[in-house]
Chain A
Amino acid sequence: MTTTATTQPARRPVPQAAVTGAASGGYFRHIIAIAKRSLIKMVRTPEALIDVTLQPIIFLLLFTYIFGGAIGGSSADYLQFLLPGLLAQSIAQAGVALGQNLNADIEKGVFDRFRSLPIGRSVPLVGAVIADIGRYLILCVVTLGFGMIMGFRIETNALAATAGIGISIAFALCFCWISVFVGMKVRTSGAVQGIMFLIVLPLSFASNTFVNPETMPDWLQTFVKINPISQLVTTMRGLMIGGPVQESLMWTLVWMAILLIVFVPLALRAYRKRT
């Protein structure tokens, strides 16, 4: 049985002017609106900031005082070595929560509304990514601030250190698209965390973050050299405690471009296909 032409009951007046306005011109405004939403949620749920506040502090304490003496000769020397690396490693890890949050938003149906609005398809994702800058800033301030209380000293200058923080945040904005992609792909936010740790942990430890890789087997050293986190760590060390940065900075930028080129389209495609 099929429906055919409906008999029309008496027509009611049509509502006044539906919303108009160019979707294209609003792209930037829409992203700001979505980012604002994420920031409000961030302020409302401070417990969700543990991974960018307490966690780096605990890592700093654990590694400096437990392993520091054994690895770096003294805790103070090791702290100088560790902090720029830990900052780079933590900021890459900080994007995991983003994928989890986006996954939860989709499961709750919040994104259905966004998708039914005349806004750019990428707006909900890009807006959430932009808002994550807030978390990265908190992470940098907390890690650097607490590190300084523990005795860390910037050996270059404020400008170089600020540039280092800027580069690490920019790197995190590229790296987090892996998390966004995984968040779009898997069913639960718990699975996002599980998969992301499988990616982030090897990259964090098979790097020059915590130890000098000289004692590692050759094949692992090769991996450490390619590892984007190693390149960022080397850059950060150069900018904070001195040393060559040119080559590692170039490779960091190359990696950032690769991450964006690969994972932004993948994430957007997965988002479009998600039902």
Chain B
Amino acid sequence: MSNIIEAEGLKKRFGTTQALDGVDLAAGEGTVLGILGPNGAGKTTAVRILATLLQADSGRATIDGYDVVKDAGKVRRTIGLTGQYASVDEDLTGIQNLVLIGNLLNLSGRDAKARALELLEWFGLADAAQRRAKTYSGGMRRRLDLAASLVGRPRVIFLDEPTTALDPAKRQDMWEVLRRLVTDGSTVLLTTQYLEEADALADEISVIDHGKVIAHDTPDGLKRQIGGQRIRVKPTDRARMEDVHRILAEIGGNEPQASGRDELTVAVNGEDALAATVGRLAADGIAVTELSLHLPSLDEVFMTLTGERVAGDGTTTGSKEVAA
């Protein structure tokens, strides 16, 4: 078995809600598997089962060949877990949080402290080491939480929505940290609500919805499937909408969609699409207030894959809210 993370047919029901309805997952050693889905899709439930915190109703899962139920102890020696809600102890200082984990992992007092200092340095928390975690900002807590999951140098790391609720700049910082993790050789399973994040970090992506994997591919493969990037244009003068429509239709080779007030979006392929759009708009003398190239949002991904919209609360329509 070459996959360090393997899950087959995982099912889990909470009351009347089928949180997982037969999920298969696989990740090779040293790779990053992204699990993309809206709130309540079952991402966290899947992670909790793989991390031995929860038992599936049926199906099986192994980490490095060890069954997550029968060999839970061995699995726990292989994994590190960073939860959706930063689970650091607020009354302890940064260093105390990490030394505690080191002690629980049988490091000697000296080794636990050395490892704690090393990680605090690594995560840019050295100056805050002696401060209580209560005083940390949201981004600092996330980093401390991540550091805590790395104390034992785990070969498999579970990151449950590591950047949710972080502002864009902090998210970029977090990505940098995660990239370094992966270059250290760890296998990472990352859940996220952002295609952009999965695209930036993952080698392969499983899209999950209503407790089922609805797509699995590399980021490029997935983008091909859902139509790659979008160009969005908002002309200054509404009267030029028709011209914009014509230009975008030619460049994208498909029908542009109205994506907001006086705004058109078209799926494009090829790296030169944006430059071509700018060129054509300029040639026709069309002024724009907004022009952007972006990856499809989760909403657009799900529209393409399932024909369902993601509701404002992040769940796909028709799904029941799950404490997942």
Within 8 A of B (CB), among A170-205: none
How far in angstroms is the closest Cβ of chain A from B303? 17
Within 8 A of A (CB), among B165-215: 182-186, 203-204, 206, 212-215
Within 8 A of B (CB), among A1-37: 1-9, 11-23, 26, 29-30, 32-34, 36-37
B297 interface hit (Cβ, 8 Å): no
Q: Is the CB of A118 within 8 A of B105?
A: yes
How far in angstroms is the closest Cβ of chain B from A17? 7
B113 interface hit (Cβ, 8 Å): no
> What class of interface size applies to chain A in its complex with B?
35 or more
Residues from chain A with a CB closer than 8 A to the CB of B100 are 33-34, 36-37
Residues from chain B with a CB closer than 8 A to the CB of A118 are 73-74, 76-77, 105
A-contact bits for B52-89, CB 8 A (1 contact / 0 none)? 11100000000000000000011011111101111111
A275 interface hit (Cβ, 8 Å): yes
Q: Is the CB of A18 within 8 A of B154?
A: yes
**One of A38-46, A67-75, A89-97 contacting the partner:** A38-46
Q: Is the CB of A21 within 8 A of B105?
A: yes
How far in angstroms is the closest Cβ of chain B from A150? 34
Given contacts A6-B27, A44-B132, A113-B81, contact A21 B106 (CB under 8 A): yes
> What class of interface size applies to chain B in its complex with A?
35 or more
A215 interface hit (Cβ, 8 Å): no
Residues from chain A with a CB closer than 8 A to the CB of B107 are 19
Q: Is the CB of B30 within 8 A of A11?
A: yes
Q: Is the CB of A110 within 8 A of B89?
A: yes
A117 interface hit (Cβ, 8 Å): yes
A-contact bits for B1-39, CB 8 A (1 contact / 0 none)? 011000000000000000000001111111101000000
In angstroms, Cα B93 to Cα A37, docked, is 11
B250 interface hit (Cβ, 8 Å): no
Given contacts A12-B183, A116-B76, A118-B77, contact A3 B26 (CB under 8 A): yes
Q: Is the CB of A3 within 8 A of B104?
A: no
Q: Is the CB of A1 within 8 A of B216?
A: yes
Q: Is the CB of B106 within 8 A of A29?
A: yes
Within 8 A of B (CB), among A88-133: 108-110, 112-119, 123
Residues from chain A with a CB closer than 8 A to the CB of B105 are 19, 21, 117-118
Task: Return 14 A-B CB contacts under 8 Å, by A number.
Answer: A1-B214, A1-B215, A1-B216, A3-B25, A14-B29, A15-B185, A18-B154, A26-B104, A32-B103, A37-B89, A40-B96, A109-B85, A110-B87, A113-B101
Residue numbers of B with Cβ under 8 A of A are 2-3, 24-31, 33, 48, 51-54, 73-74, 76-81, 83-89, 91-92, 96, 100-101, 103-107, 132, 148-149, 152-155, 182-186, 203-204, 206, 212-216, 218
Residue numbers of A with Cβ under 8 A of B are 1-9, 11-23, 26, 29-30, 32-34, 36-37, 40-41, 44-45, 108-110, 112-119, 123, 275
Given contacts A6-B27, A7-B218, A116-B76, 7 further A-B contacts (CB under 8 A): A3-B26, A4-B26, A6-B3, A8-B31, A11-B28, A19-B77, A34-B104
